[in-house]
A and B are shown apart, each in its own frame.
Chain A
Amino acid sequence: MGNDLLAKFIAKRILATVIILFVTSIFIFVITNMMPGDAIDLMLGGLSLQSVGQETVAQLRAQLGLDLPLYQQYLHWLVALLQGDLGTSYIFNAPIAPIISERIYNSLLLAVPAIMIMIVVGLVSGVVSAINEGKKIDHSISFLGILMLSIPEFLIGTVFIYIFAVQLNWIPAAFNTIDTDSMSVWQSMTTYFKVLIFPSLTIAFGSIAYVSRQTRASMIEELKSNYVRTALLKGVPYKRVVWVHALKNGLLPTVTVIAFNIGQIIAGTVIVEVVFSYPGIGNLIIMALNQRDIPLILATMMIISLIYVISNLAADILYSRLNPKISYS
């Protein structure tokens, strides 16, 4: 069980991930091109083909490379993608890369704090219910967990908007009016705590229960182990035993649950962006799909898939690093 084996395992997993991403890119490309209507229809808007003239249309088609067979179109797209060129959006009539990076920044502004909230609240509630196993607090936390898993994100978001935007008027009802670009760091921090905390809380809501459940299960096991008893008998304070000794080992399975919940967070971000009319990547995907802007759909889907697959890879690697019992096969 040397480091070689581990390195080999990681290399294998990375290779598998690259292959998955490659096949995924073919998959997205093919099904996106199955959409009825192409870029030309979109560019013509309401104009009829006759009024523009067949020649112009053919010329445009050639210019955009749409007259080539699908596999050649795919290769062109892939080569450009690998060079960091995401293409040109039809609806924005601008290169996609800067648009996407701005939107991703906005989405991360919601998602990263959501992940932190998920970890902190999930861990604390999990440990608290493990310490009080079978007692009222434990039951109420697990009931709250079921409740949180059963409430759609859009409802939480709507409740926040109803209370804080409609009734109290603390936050705007539509978040696309907030301009994060022109703010200083300090300003954006204060805006964050005043305003953006609500969508972040909404995103975290659904995932907290997973983390909490997993923490509870592993902590209950740890608290029954011999080293915890030894530490207690040696006179280490109970709180220290729980929060330092046991949690350190109990964290192991939780780390993977946290990493695997990134998908949940992405999905949550999409919905929450719709609820709060927030200009992030989720609203961009919906806009691209509604307008059938194929380059934009391809780019956004690839980015989401990339984030998702890489976070799963990270989960796998973390798990194998942390757990010496796993076999690298």
Chain B
Amino acid sequence: MKNNSVLMFLKRMPNKLIFGTVVVISLLIISIFAKQIAPYDANMMYYDHLKELPSKDFWLGTDRFGRDILSRVIVGSQSTLFIALISTMIALFFGSVIGVYVAYYGGKIDAFIMRCNDVLMSFPSLVFAMLVIGILGASTVTAIIAIAVIYIPRTMRVIRSQALNIVNLEYIDAAKVSGESVSYIIFKEIMPNLWPTIIVEGSIRLGYAILLTASLSYIGLGPPPPTPDWGLMAYTERAYMLDNPWPVFVPCIAIIITVITINIFGEGLKDLLLIKHSRSKGL
């Protein structure tokens, strides 16, 4: 019986989702065990192998300090994915909690929070991130803070608009009348109905977050060198493209593959979870 329902579930899964899940999980595994998988130490400099093209020893070549590019890209996945994942999770958490609260209470609190949202969203996200990081100083932690702060209002808007459809339903009134506490209603009655929206929103955000993380470290506002980080690698090696373009293009290709599969994964999730619901486009 149980096996059967699992099979049914798998059958309902769109191909996009299966493909996306497989690649995302393998990316996660690579990134968690990066230090074990990488053939060399990512920061080890082999002075007799500078700017080498791909060879049997160094599969993707070496950079201008003789560091193995394959190892740096593998270990670099940690920094990029870590910043993007953590900031997306923070944004999702605060975005959905605040979003549901303001939808539930409505009135003045709602209006006030939405106006604050308007102010926070009166910058393009990248420019806002630059401002926050410029003030706090560039590091992994500030990159996480900046991206989370940018995405909280955007996530909140999407979650709030979904929650607004639910707070007026009869069963919420019933819960209120029967004297349930506010936190019980919010977490036990409203939230469960929002999970599909939250998950889909998260997967879409994650794709954007990776691009933003990479762009920030590309303009020098991410983790400092010599941290292996995709955006940073592309930036620091750019001036030496003439001799060997591999150190620039390998991390870029890693970014593209990651973002594409996360986008495909997100589209698949959307097909599976939200296929019947029409969903407002959250930018």
Footprint of B on A, CB under 8 Å? 16, 19-21, 23-24, 27-28, 31-32, 34-35, 146-147, 149-155, 158, 161-162, 166, 260, 263-264, 266-267, 270-271, 274, 285-286, 289-290, 292, 297, 301, 304-305, 308-309
Contact = CB atoms under 8 A, between A and B. Distances in A.
Given A271-B215, A271-B219, A21 B122 contact: yes
B35 to A, nearest CB: 26
A227 to B, nearest CB: 24
A96 B242 CA distance: 37
Nearest to A22: B119
Nearest to B132: A31
Interface residues of B, number: 39
B177 to A, nearest CB: 30
Interface stretch (B3-11, B22-30, B41-49, B255-263): B255-263
B226 to A, nearest CB: 20
A310 to B, nearest CB: 10
B77 to A, nearest CB: 15
Given A20-B119, A147-B260, A161-B241, A152 B131 contact: no
Given A149-B259, A166-B245, A270-B127, 20 more contacts: A19-B115, A20-B118, A28-B131, A31-B135, A32-B135, A34-B135, A35-B134, A150-B256, A151-B259, A152-B211, A153-B215, A154-B214, A158-B234, A162-B245, A274-B219, A285-B127, A286-B219, A289-B131, A297-B134, A301-B123
B126 to A, nearest CB: 4
A297 B249 CA distance: 33
Interface string B173-210: 00000000000000000000000000000000001000
Contact of A150 (B119, B125, B207): B207
- The majority secondary structure among interface residues of chain A is helix
B156 interface: no
A305 B123 CA distance: 5
A20 B114 CA distance: 11
15 contacts: A147-B260, A149-B259, A149-B263, A154-B215, A158-B241, A263-B124, A267-B126, A270-B130, A274-B219, A290-B134, A297-B131, A301-B127, A304-B123, A304-B127, A305-B123
Contact of B130 (A151, A154, A285): A285
A80 to B, nearest CB: 21
Contacts of B215: 152-154, 271
A146 B19 CA distance: 15
Interface string B100-119: 00000000000000010011
A266 B124 contact: yes
Please list the 3 inter-chain residue pairs (A to B) with the smallest Cβ-Cβ separation, ordered nearest first.
A289-B134, A267-B126, A150-B259
Given A20-B122, A155-B252, A155-B256, A146 B264 contact: yes
A158 B124 contact: no
Given A23-B119, A158-B252, A271-B218, A150 B131 contact: no
A31 to B, nearest CB: 6
A27 B231 CA distance: 29
Given A31-B131, A35-B135, A289-B130, A264 B260 contact: no
B242 A274 contact: no
Contacts of B263: 146, 149-150
B265 to A, nearest CB: 12
Contacts of B1: none
Given A152-B214, A155-B234, A271-B219, A260 B241 contact: no
B238 interface: yes
